[in-house]
Structure 1
Amino acid sequence: MEKTAAPLPARRVTPLRNAPFRRFVTASLISATGSAMAPLALAYSVIEQGGGAGALGVVLATNSVPTTVFLLVGGVLADRVSRSRLLFLGNLLAAAAQGALAVTVATGHATTTSIAVCGFLSGTALAFTVPATQGAVAQIVPAEQLQQANALLRLPSNAVKVLGPAVGGVVVAFSGPAWALAWDALTFAVAAFLLLGLRLNAPVTAGSALGDLRKGWAGFWSRTWLWTYTASGTVLVAAWLAGFQLLGPVVAAERYAGARDWGLVAGAFSAGLLAGAVVCLRWRPYRLMVVAVAAGAPLAAPLLVMGWGLPLPWLLLAALLAGIGLDVAIVTWTTAFQQHVPQGELGRMSAFNSVGERLAIPLGYLLTALATGVWEDRTVLVACAGLIVAATVLNLCVRDLYRVNATRD
């Protein structure tokens, strides 16, 4: 009797075979190379024109506030117009703002006011591109390939985060901040035209913009898994930023070897982000939201290590694990969001979620400033770690979380 050969296993189709997705990844990578240098260049632009911490604070505020204020507008537009056109216009506005800033810095005409105005325009542009991005990816890539696509998007951007600041430091040191800002403007412009070529259809909507916003809020509130994740995420982000970004360098100066050791910690965290993206390329969990929530818990580890005064090797290991957990959380959360929110609502749902996370930034810094006036820094670090663990555990108790699972091939 003739034997029948066993069928060969089907090869998993990668999103990189999708030409529009390759265009999207390329645009993201190019833009990331400029964005990684921009913060350092911006800071030294303020310093070179005689500004101090107060002036830099004003500039950073004018960059972040419009993003939060206009996010809901950007979310509504992302569900009403072509997302590729919205991404094009947002990146073009950012290119114009950074280009104008580069010219004023190069010619010696930069002032705190002019830098703040350019920062305001860049922040406004971000408010319109953030809600459109997730919806654009979901339009380009089939649902079963979304996790791999999100990991592929994170991988090069994480690599740039490791190398970008160092390269930016060299550019600023030898050529001045204007050249780094000009490069940032150029990358935004190139990304804008690449994204316009996607030619994505506009979601089908009806009714007024205000009515869409009300419907969006009703849809957001009706999804328990979504608003509870946003609420717990606001607490988690506030505690993480307060503990790691604000108190971390202070404790490093007191307990460790200052800037040198803190640079190693930051590098370990960035390496963890890279490793987390690699993990998500290979591992495809079924319970996406459960993994997204649980993977945020390791963020408490470096805060506990610093709070307890453990040696540097323990802190490096904790920072590495925190980076891995954070990237796994981001990729699985983004995938769950894209797979379980309808195309016509992705922009508004993303905006509501992003507003919560962005409000966590000033909230975390303010509460930390108040707490450090009462407790020691190490006590505040342990408290921040406790908030992260508590937010994670409480969110894992939400039953609706366990029905938001992966779409399989």
Structure 2
Amino acid sequence: MGFRRFVTASLISATGSAMAPLALAYSVIEQGGGAGALGVVLATNTVPTVVFLLMGGVLADRMSRSRLLFLGNLLAAAAQGALAVVVGTGQATTTSIAVCGFVSGTAMAFTVPATQGAVAQIVPAEQLQQANTLLRLPVNAVKVLGPAVGGVVVAVSGPAWALAWDALSFAVAALLLLGLRLDAPVAVAGVLTDLREGWAGFWSRTWLWTYTAAGTVLVAAWLAGFQLLGPVVAAERYAGARDWGLVQGAFAAGLLAGTVVCLRWRPHRLLVVAVVAGAPLAAPLLAMGAGLPLPWVLLATLLAGAGLDVAVVTWTTAFQQHVPQGELGRMSAFNNVGERLAIPLGYLLTALAAGLWDDRTVLVACAGLVVVAVVLNLCVRDLYRINATRK
């Protein structure tokens, strides 16, 4: 019953989150902002998530995770609701949109560390892979349909209505999550003591910090190559927005395919599979960098999406099974800080490389970084002892 409630909350929230990025972009455009204004808005959404993640991790190990998820989703609902009002009434400015984004990013910092711990509290250890897969299945399906539906809503009714739905979806999810009534995981000491002990626990698990370090490089290379340079190369080498839309669709379909694979396949060496499954992310970068025809790019992107979802499911399962309940929040926070820092790192590296090489060469270099990160991570001996828990 508790897991069904959690899945329902995730699905409802995902329907709003799938439409929100498009609505946010057009909110900035409608009030006269350009790329610079949109960059400011996106930065104010990302920065507080990184800044407050560690505090969110500490709280996730100190208080009821269902209450923390309730408060985080409620705060996000308030932020998106306020944004919908200012956009709908024509009072939106870059500053007001950025302030709402700051609040929304802060809310995410407190919900992300609590989520994995909540799932591990609800579901027995031997059923965690199936649970993580079932959580991702509807969310990935929404990722396929959500942007298209959001585009129609924004085109017909304006961005305010899409933002209002996002706010409502967060509010409904908050109420569902409050009903879980999960107990606080452990008795706690002071905040600073919790942080010090959390860092010691993170550093003592070689498999955890090496996976985080490799993941930071891999995510930075992927974002720089696919998200930033991909549309540029699509405009130069392929048919621009139309073909890039097909590539994005192939990636979403790959995510869904990876989820289906995880429903049937339950590997024993969870962490090894998680690392290896990240390698296909290099494929579309190489395909675009080499100027291969569009069908090959689509196939490579499909494989990348499938690999990424397998990696996410197996990594999450390994993490939940091999980190004690009382440390899940802090360990998740340290891991997520690395991945969040990959966003500005990837864009900075691309900006520096763009002055030295052409875009297609940078794409190949990003693919190389992905492969190197995977190979080096596979050299960590501690990786091979993190296996699936069976009955």
TM-score normalised by structure 2 residue count: 0.99
CA deviation profile, 1:81-130 (whole Å, cap 9, x unmatched): 00000000000000000001111111111111111111000000000000
2:242 is equivalent to residue 266 of structure 1: no
**Could you tell me which residue of structure 2 aligns to residue 356 of structure 1?**
338
Measure, in 1, the Cα distance between the counterparts of 2:97 and 2:233. Answer: 32
Please, which of 119, 126, 147 is the counterpart of residue 108 of structure 2?
Answer: 126
Are 1:281 and 2:268 counterparts? no
Which is further off, 371-380 or 121-130? 371-380
Equivalent residue for 2:98? 116
Q: Secondary structure at the match of 2:388?
A: coil
Question: Does residue 157 of structure 2 align to residue 175 of structure 1?
Answer: yes
How far apart, CA to CA, are the structure 1 residues paired with 2:175 and 2:30?
A: 33
Distance apart, 1:204 and its partner CA: 1.2
**Aligned-partner Cα distance in 2 for 1:36–1:357:** 20
Of residues 219, 228, 241 in structure 1, which corresponds to 2:223?
241
SS at match of 1:110: coil
Distance, in Å, in 2 between the alignment partners of 1:270 and 1:64 is: 23
> Deviation of residue 312 (structure 1)?
0.8
1:232 aligns with 2:181: no
Residue 54 of structure 1 deviates from its aligned partner by 1.0
Shift of 1:203: 1.0
1:257 corresponds to which of 219, 239, 248: 239
C-alpha offsets along residues 282-309 of structure 1, whole Å, 9 cap, x if unaligned? 1000000000000000000000011111
1:135 to 2:92 alignment? no
Matched to 1:352, the amino acid is F
Amino acid paired to 1:206: V
Post-superposition CA distance 1:215-263 (Å, at most 9, x none): 0000000000000000000000000000000111111111111111111
Match of 1:95 among 77, 85, 98: 77
Q: Which of 1 and 2 has greater Rg?
A: 1
Q: Offset of 1:206 from its aligned partner?
A: 2.5
Matches within 5 A, 1:308-347: 308-347=290-329
Taking the aligned partners of 2:280 and 2:90, their CA distance within structure 1 comes to 46
Corresponding residue number in structure 2 for 1:406: 388
CA distance in 2, matches of 1:384, 1:54: 25
Instruction: Tell me the equivalent position of 1:4.
Output: none
Distance 1:204 1:253 in 2: 53
Residue 134 of structure 1 aligns with an amino acid whose one-letter code is Q
Q: Deviations over 1:145-185 (max 9, x none)?
A: 00000000111111111100100000000100110000000
Partner of 1:12: none
RMSD of aligned Cα (Å) = 0.5
CA distance in 1, matches of 2:303, 2:196: 40
Which residue identity lines up with residue 162 of structure 1 in the other structure?
V
Higher mean displacement: 104-113 or 238-247:
104-113
| CA-CA distance at 1:59 after TM superposition | 0.7
- Aligned match of 1:396 in 369, 372, 378? 378
How far is the alpha carbon of 1:382 from its aligned partner? 0.7
Name the residue aligned to 2:58. Answer: 76
One-letter amino acid matched to 1:380? V
Q: Name the aligned partner's letter for residue 318 of structure 1.
A: A
In 2: Cα distance, 1:106 partner to 1:252 partner: 34
Distance 1:258 1:100 in 2: 35
Q: Distance in 2 between matches of 1:132 and 1:345?
A: 11
Structure 1: gaps of 5 or more residues: 1-18
TM-superposed CA distance for 1:52, in Å, is 1.1
- 1:373 deviation in Å? 1.0
Amino acid at match of 1:39: P
Matched residues in 2 for 1:63 and 1:345: separation?
26
Q: Which AA in structure 1 matches 2:15?
A: T
Distance 2:188 2:143 in 1: 40
Alignment of 1:138-153 (within 5 A): 138-153=120-135
Question: Which amino acid is 1:357 matched to?
Answer: E
Give the aligned residue type for 2:50.
T
Structure 1 residue 205 displacement after superposition: 2.5
Give, in whole Å, the separation in 1 of the partners of 2:348 and 2:284: 21
CA distance in 2 between partners of 1:97 and 1:175 (Å): 20
Do structure 1's residue 381 and structure 2's residue 363 form an aligned pair? Answer: yes
* Correspondence for 1:40: 22
Q: Which residue of structure 1 lines up, in the alignment, with residue 177 of structure 2?
A: 195
State, as a whole percentage, how many aligned pairs show the same letter: 88
Indicate the residue corresponding to 1:297 in structure 2.
279
Match of 2:143 in 1: 161
Q: Distance in 2 between matches of 1:46 and 1:376?
A: 30
Amino acid at match of 1:62: T
Counterpart code for 2:61: D
SS in 2 for 1:268: helix
Q: TM-score, normalised by structure 1?
A: 0.95
Displaced runs of 4+ in structure 1, greater than 4 A?
Answer: none
Q: Which runs of 5+ in 2 are unaligned?
A: none
Q: Distance in 1 between matches of 2:61 and 2:283?
A: 39
Q: 2:201 aligns with which of 213, 216, 219?
A: 219
- When the two structures are aligned, how many residues end up with a matched partner? 391
